[in-house]
Structure 1
Amino acid sequence: MESLRPQGRLTDHIGLGVVSARFNRDLLEEVLNRSGRREKRVRRLPAHVMI
């Protein structure tokens, strides 16, 4: 039986604007912190804005 798992990254299947509109900033910050996906450099737009 063939697997029904989606191929590729989440952003290939859903817009990040949908994610940021659905989930609050505190939750997004928590996910970024736990996943280790915080920005590596200080930039004009922080990671939570880029989602």
Structure 2
Amino acid sequence: MPQQLATKTNGKIILTFDRLIYSNLLAEISPKALETPEEYDRLLAVAERLTFAK
């Protein structure tokens, strides 16, 4: 799960990410057209994991 850090600088929030974790996430869910219900289910599970992570 990517660790998102928020840093406030000059009144603006800058989001930073761990590059290794982010690149692993991109490798897992590289953007492409979904062709099967299984692909949809897999990526939906990833989206839900990221959306509802605390």
TM over 0.5: no
Choose between structure 1 and 2: higher strand proportion.
2
Question: What TM-score comes out, normalization by structure 2 length?
Answer: 0.29
Query: Which has the larger Rg?
Result: 2
Question: What TM-score comes out, normalization by structure 1 length?
Answer: 0.31
